[in-house]
Amino acid sequence: MQLSDLDLTKTYSYADYLQWTFEDRLELIKGKIFKMTPAPASVHQRLSWVISGELYNYLKGKTCKAYAAPFDVRLPRKGVNDDKKIFTVVQPDVCIICDPTKIDARGCTGAPDIIIEILSPGNNQKEVRNKYEVYEESGIREYWLVSPQDKTFLIYTLVDGHYQASRPLAEGDIVTTSILPGFELSLQTVFEEIN
């Protein structure tokens, strides 16, 4: 089977997703297939590495854990844990999960505490619109959006079921979060190797 064999207008579940064996990397958002861009550019991977490294150093010995793509995050509707009824499966660049019961051999079921997405040319609409909506609906406490193109960093924080955006952060700013007390991410460090 190839991706071209699928009807892209159809709604698919996680059970369908598990059956696919083609090489293309995909995500399901509300049952619709979103083809991921080819392997991320070196800038994207470098940013992911730096952010993951900073998180790894902070999280050593703590309950919360960070996971980097490819890592399936299944976002079921409340109370649903049947693969045939899960219609959203994403692979965020980095996610932080503080509840170890959400982790299994296939990834994460339920909302991570923080999801970090690094924008790549060509996927901005998916990240900004579709994932924003599904992350908000799923109860992900913070959604960090990193833009290598303009060296900015936004934090969307869930307040009363809706995201509130931080001011745009840039080089010279320090990212902090109440989810990880004492964690500081220097955006000077994050963006320093990007030309």
Tens-digit pLDDT profile for residues 146-188 = 999 999 999 999 999 999 999 999 999 999 999 999 999 999 9
Q: Mean per-residue pLDDT for 35-60?
A: 85
- First and final C-alpha spacing in the chain: 41
The boundaries of the domain holding residue 56 are 39-191
How confident is the model at residue 40, as a pLDDT? 60
Pick from 148, 161, 76, 83: which is nearest to 117 by CA? Answer: 148
pLDDT tens-digit series, residues 13-34: 889 888 888 777 788 888 888 7
State the total domains in the chain: 1
Q: What percentage of the chain has pLDDT greater than the value 70?
A: 93
Whether residue 120 lies inside any domain: the answer is yes
Whether residue 56 lies inside any domain: the answer is yes
Whether residue 24 lies inside any domain: the answer is no
CATH code, 173: 3.90.1570.10
Pick from 65, 108, 113, 117: which is nearest to 88 by CA? Answer: 108
Percent helix, strand, coil in the chain (nearest 5)?
25, 30, 45
Whether residue 178 lies inside any domain: the answer is yes
For residue 77, give the DSSP letter: P
Whether residue 155 lies inside any domain: the answer is yes
Q: Determine if residue 118 is left, alpha or beta; phi over 0 gives left, psi from -120 to 50 gives alpha, anything else beta.
A: beta
CA distance linking residue 177 with residue 181, whole number of Å: 7
pLDDT tens-digit series, residues 66-92: 999 889 999 998 767 778 888 999 999
Most confident of 41-55, 124-138, 175-189: 175-189
Whether residue 33 lies inside any domain: the answer is no
How confident is the model at residue 7, as a pLDDT? 84
Whether residue 92 lies inside any domain: the answer is yes
The structure tokens listed for 73 are: 């995050």
The structure tokens listed for 161 are: 């079921």
Whether residue 142 lies inside any domain: the answer is yes
